[in-house]
Structure 1
Amino acid sequence: MIKPPSSFTFKLTEEQIELLRVRLTEQGYDFSDLPYGYYRARKGKGVTMVGLDAYLSGKLVVSGKGAPEVIEFLIEPEITGVAKLGYDEVHNPEAYEPHIGIDESGKGDFFGPLVVAAAYTNDLTAKQLLSAGVKDSKQIGSDAVALKIGDAIVEILGPTRYSVLALGPEKYNELYAKFKNLNRFLAWGHATVLENLLTQHPGCKRAISDQFANAAVLRSALKERGKTIELVQRTKAESDVAVAAASILARAEFLRRMERLGQDAGLGGPLPKGASGHVAALGRKYFAAHGSEALARLSKRHFKTFSEITGEPPITPPNPFRKFSRPK
């Protein structure tokens, strides 16, 4: 059973925080000190418990099973003056209309795959995803939580409402050698998962992705099915529930494959994420023991890190005037 969120965050002014203190005092809340905060207020037990932490930054965190009632009947009408809880369809109706969200994971990681995912949502599934705690995967600090929410997304959407394209390092390197341009490569990946979902939902009119390149690059990568869809590219696209779901699906698959690759390489655990000095040090150690071809089976060959470790020349940037064609 998927649990609804029990924690909510607001940004308040100092005056609003003080007004809230007055109202909470009138309602019999117990106050205590809060590190880096104005106050911590608590009231009730069990299903009625609610806690409010007011920080010096202006952030207010409302938690507990009684949080929705406090937000609906105190914070929104008397403090913020804006009714959002339960009214998101009014403030953001497009989020509940049928559309596809696309995102990827592994783009900036030296080791491991590139994973691109797409999720199709409508009014019902958007509400279910939000209740399951779906948000931008970068805001989920725990890999274990990302994997758990990823499983919930699969349960909610079912097999026909999401598509995942996972390119292990060997396939990634093979395809990058043909594209020799990361934006075109990403556009092809985005177009692939989008086309996959459009076969299941041909009536879908809109798709959203993060802004990684000119929209024309993604448009040119689409086949016939995707030519008429409205493509929306914007910064912080993960604020959209469909993009957030795709983001988590991509991250979850990335994590699973990093674990598998690390175990297969004899590391006793997952490959490290990112492209830090620690990652490069492991790459040098693995190269010294197994050679460049073995390292390429775990990593992205076009990264500068690969050239620095192996001494091989970096992949030459493509001629910008060369005509682009889809790989066979």
Structure 2
Amino acid sequence: MSNYVIQADQQLLDALRAHYQDALSDRLPAGALFAVKRPDVVITAYRSGKVLFQGKAAEQEAGKWMVKRGADPGKRQERETASPPLEHRLEKLSAIGSDEVGTGDYFGPIVVAAAYVERSHIAKIAALGVKDSKQLNDEAIKRIAPAIMETVPHAVTVLDNPQYNRWQRSGMPQTKMKALLHNRTLVKLVDAIAPIEPEAIIIDEFLKRDSYFRYLSDEDHIVRERVHCLPKAESAHVSVASASIIARYVFLDEMERLSRAIGLSLPKGAGAMADEAAARIIRERGEEMLETCAKLHFANTKKALAIAKRR
């Protein structure tokens, strides 16, 4: 989808509003003066004077207004591939953040969490020492996560190993799994906080926004409004860092549960310790037991089989 931005003065903004009067939308993004929705173009005018054109006819429509101002379209337009700009700083918005853990761990599930942090709770959550879960040790996660979960609405989705392995064998890439899990988690949280609507929904980027939504084409319910896929999103809003911590907390709990069921402390990550643990499971419980606790397509499975045969 093409995106173009022009800078407009008040006279041009008034002209735009009048021209598209019949297609003005009642739903406005944060910081917007007005929005226009037509089948082939969506136009959003912001308080800063920026006007964003999106859709098949974006270049054509933007070009009309740049010509009317006597501008050189080649110089005036700014191509954009990200989500529409937020005119307030992201960190100050009431927002939902979404993040996942477990994708690089041989043992254990994938866990996606989403957390809604409204403006009035941002300072309180930040004061808890919230940061990306990768920067916190397990003890800190277990201390901070319950306080976050008591304070903010949240939702969690766990993809257990048997289902992960079924999806993987069907040919589904892990990126699509994550897209499905993020969307399903967002659906749960958006429904839970309704009629409240977040000013932004921020996903820690693992795919570009367009690719993310392509993976969701077969889903019955898709959260689309105000969704932004941002790299290092945990630094953009405390809600993403909160979701990261909640996801890690649930992942740790799931790992402890699996370890009890297997009768062996399952290591995190996908290194040599995972190879050794998997080999021991094969020897003591049989290869089929890995189906219940591991991501079988990882190279660890082949290494573990080789280790088990040698001993």
Among 213, 223, 228, the alignment partner of 1:219 is: 213
1:152 Cα deviation after fit = 0.5
Q: Which residue of 1 aligns with 2:166?
A: 174
1:293 Cα deviation after fit = 1.1
Q: Which residue of 1 aligns with 2:262?
A: 265
8 Å contact 2:266–2:277 — kept in the other structure? no
Query: Aligned letter for 2:205?
Result: Q
**Greater Cα offset, 246-255 or 214-223:** 214-223
- Over the aligned positions, Cα root-mean-square deviation in angstroms equals 2.1
Query: Per-residue CA shift, 1:224-274, capped at 9, x if unaligned?
Result: 76454122222211112010000000000000111111111112xx41100
Q: Which residue of 2 aligns with 1:304?
A: 299
1:307 Cα deviation after fit = 3.2
C-alpha distance in 2 between matches for 1:224 and 1:205: 23
Q: Which residue of 1 aligns with 2:234?
A: 238
Among 158, 181, 185, the alignment partner of 2:177 is: 185
8 Å contact 2:100–2:110 — kept in the other structure? yes
Query: Aligned letter for 1:277?
Result: A
C-alpha distance in 2 between matches for 1:166 and 1:123: 28
C-alpha distance in 2 between matches for 1:156 and 1:263: 30
C-alpha distance in 2 between matches for 1:178 and 1:206: 34
Q: Which residue of 1 aligns with 2:107?
A: 111
Query: Per-residue CA shift, 1:171-210, capped at 9, x if unaligned?
Result: 2222333452011111111111111111134522421122
SS in 2 for 1:148: helix
Q: Which residue of 2 aligns with 1:133?
A: 129
Q: Which residue of 1 aligns with 2:252?
A: 255
8 Å contact 1:173–1:300 — kept in the other structure? yes
Q: Label 1:124 to 1:179 Cα distance change in 2 as closer, same or farther (>3 A).
A: farther
Alignment of 1:27-66 (within 5 A): none
Q: Label 1:231 to 1:296 Cα distance change in 2 as closer, same or farther (>3 A).
A: same
C-alpha distance in 2 between matches for 1:228 and 1:245: 21
Q: Which residue of 2 aligns with 1:69?
A: none
8 Å contact 2:274–2:300 — kept in the other structure? no
8 Å contact 2:183–2:223 — kept in the other structure? no
Query: Per-residue CA shift, 1:308-327, capped at 9, x if unaligned?
Result: 3347xxxxxxxxxxxxxxxx
C-alpha distance in 2 between matches for 1:113 and 1:224: 24
Query: Per-residue CA shift, 1:125-147, capped at 9, x if unaligned?
Result: 2221111111111111x212101
8 Å contact 2:114–2:186 — kept in the other structure? yes
8 Å contact 1:184–1:217 — kept in the other structure? no
1:165 Cα deviation after fit = 0.6
State the TM-score, normalized to the length of structure 2: 0.64
**Greater Cα offset, 229-238 or 201-210:** 201-210
C-alpha distance in 1 between matches for 2:234 and 2:185: 17
1:93 Cα deviation after fit = 3.7
Q: Which residue of 1 aligns with 2:8?
A: none
Among 272, 287, 290, the alignment partner of 1:295 is: 290
SS in 2 for 1:264: helix
SS in 1 for 2:185: helix
Gaps of 5+ in 2: 1-87, 307-311
8 Å contact 1:205–1:229 — kept in the other structure? no
SS in 1 for 2:206: coil
Gaps of 5+ in 1: 1-91, 312-328
8 Å contact 1:96–1:121 — kept in the other structure? no
Alignment of 1:94 with 2:90, yes or no, is: yes
Q: Which residue of 1 aligns with 2:157?
A: 165
> Paired residues, what number?
215
Query: Per-residue CA shift, 1:289-313, capped at 9, x if unaligned?
Result: 22221012110112122233347xx
8 Å contact 2:93–2:200 — kept in the other structure? no
Q: Label 1:178 to 1:121 Cα distance change in 2 as closer, same or farther (>3 A).
A: farther
8 Å contact 1:215–1:233 — kept in the other structure? yes
8 Å contact 1:115–1:167 — kept in the other structure? yes
- Give the fraction of aligned pairs with identical amino acids, expressed as a percent: 33
Alignment of 1:283 with 2:278, yes or no, is: yes
Alignment of 1:148 with 2:140, yes or no, is: no
1:276 Cα deviation after fit = 0.7
C-alpha distance in 1 between matches for 2:93 and 2:165: 37
SS in 2 for 1:208: strand
State the TM-score, normalized to the length of structure 1: 0.61
Q: Which residue of 1 aligns with 2:59?
A: none
